[in-house]
Amino acid sequence: MQTIYDFSATSITGETVEFSAYRGRVILIVNVASRCHYTTQYEGLESLYQKYREAGLVIFGFPCGQFLNQEPGSSAEIQEFCTLKYNVSFPMFEKIDVNGPKMHPLYAYLKSQAAGWFGVRRIGWNFTKFLIDRKGSVICRYSTMTTPSQLENDIKRLI
């Protein structure tokens, strides 16, 4: 049976990250963008990460420019923005597609495990979130409008 640990991705600084290195951790995966109405969620994501990382939480940010090109920057520009504006310290990855023919395999897997509203598999917008348990299984998918603070109880149950 496939789990999150079967995947890898390229970090925002160009290194391959094997998700198996995070075995036993609770993982929150989010497609992010720097010019979106929901960009302020970076603040809440970083707050969750700081509060629960010692207890086993890790957050993976995946920049995506598929929604009105709200993430137009290069990896270096995205990293600079996230660091300077929101002091992001959780792992960030290279910009990817979350839908369509060039979709990253991780997102094909995530969407196969947890549909959105009304059973829709497609990612509808930036800041869609997937919560993964310590065994590497997708537990829940959250909409763009779900704020990071609204995830706290679910995260606490898993850690």
CA dihedral 146, 148, 154, 157 (to 10 degrees): 180
CB burial of residue 16 (10 Å; 0-12, 13-18, 19+)? exposed
Per-residue burial over 56-87, b = 16 or more CB atoms within 10 Å of its CB, e = otherwise: ebbbbbbbbbbbeebbebebeebbebbeeebe
C-alpha pair distances (Å), 143 with each of 7, 27, 31, 150: 23, 16, 11, 11
Residue with tokens 């970076």: 42
Mean pLDDT of 26-34: 97
Mean pLDDT of 89-97: 97
Position 154 pLDDT exceeds 80: yes
Whole-number pLDDT of residue 21: 97
Whole-number pLDDT of residue 4: 94
Q: List the catalytic residues.
A: 36
Q: Look up the pTM and report it.
A: 0.94
Mean pLDDT of 114-126: 71
Whole-number pLDDT of residue 115: 65
Residue 119 confidence class, pLDDT cut points 50, 70, 90: low
Query: Which residue would you say has higher pLDDT here, 61 or 1?
Result: 61
* Domain 4-158 class, CATH top level: alpha beta
What does DSSP say about strands 26-32 and 129-132: parallel, antiparallel, or unpaired? Answer: antiparallel
% residues pLDDT > 90 (the chain): 86
Q: Where are the domains of the chain?
A: 4-158
DSSP string covering 21-55? GGTTSEEEEEEE-SSSTTTTHHHHHHHHHHHHGGG
Mean pLDDT of 89-98: 97
Whole-number pLDDT of residue 118: 56
Position 23 pLDDT exceeds 80: yes
